[in-house]
Amino acid sequence: MRRTFSDFGWDSDGIDVVNLAEEYYERVLVRGLEVARARERGLTLAEVEGGDRHAHRPTPFRLTDRMLSDLAAIEGPFRLVVDSMDFFHEVLEPHDVTTVVRQIRHRCQTLGGQALLTVHVPRREGGLAGSLADLADLTLDLRAEAKGTHYQHTLAVEKVGHRPDLARLWTAEFRDGGWGVKEPSR
């Protein structure tokens, strides 16, 4: 990410990159692997005797608390990118996902922030998708549909605030400068 900023000549000072998936792995999933290994092969007498009976139990890692703590620490205008919400869908209950998104929205409104949350389409299905769309100011849907030997890409602007008249569907294509869209023929 910093290299991309540099390529565009942008200053990357003040940007914090947090890998919550890696932190979740280190603080939650690794312990699960250790427990599974101990269950499968058992413990040796040396491991039982060598263990510290008074060892401090680690504080459980709660992704919701971690995210809300970071949000609470923001004190002024900000930009936030969550790439992607799929991880939250995998490890949190639906009500916890909406809690995080509501808090992000609230912080954006009170501090003048902007947030971009990406969601992979298959994860959007169901009631949670409707809740997230209701909380969003803008929803876009980029799709790739197989058409013979190539893919046809479309970009749908599904919601722009409370303006249904601004919804659009465009054919999208990748150009030299990035993604571009063509106005639909009438």
If you average pLDDT over residues 170-183, what whole number do you get? 83
What average pLDDT is seen over the chain?
A: 83
Of residues 65 and 185, which shows the higher confidence score?
65
Q: What is the mean pLDDT of residues 154-165?
A: 89
User: Residue 138 forms beta bridges with which residues?
Assistant: 160
pLDDT at res. 53: 54
Q: Is the confidence at residue 91, as pLDDT, over 80?
A: yes
Q: How many C-beta atoms surround the C-beta of residue 155 within 10 A?
A: 18
Answer yes or no: is pLDDT of 101 > 90. Answer: yes
Report the half-sphere exposure of 126 (CA within 13 A, side-chain side): 6
pLDDT value for 184: 67
* Percent of the chain predicted with pLDDT > 90: 23
| pTM attached to this predicted model | 0.72
The predicted pLDDT at position 54 comes to 52
Give the list of residues 6+ apart from residue 39 with CB closer than 8 angstroms, or none. Answer: none
Longest CA–CA span in the chain (Å) reads 79
Cα end-to-end span (Å), the chain: 40
Mean pLDDT across 101-113: 94
2-14 average pLDDT score: 85
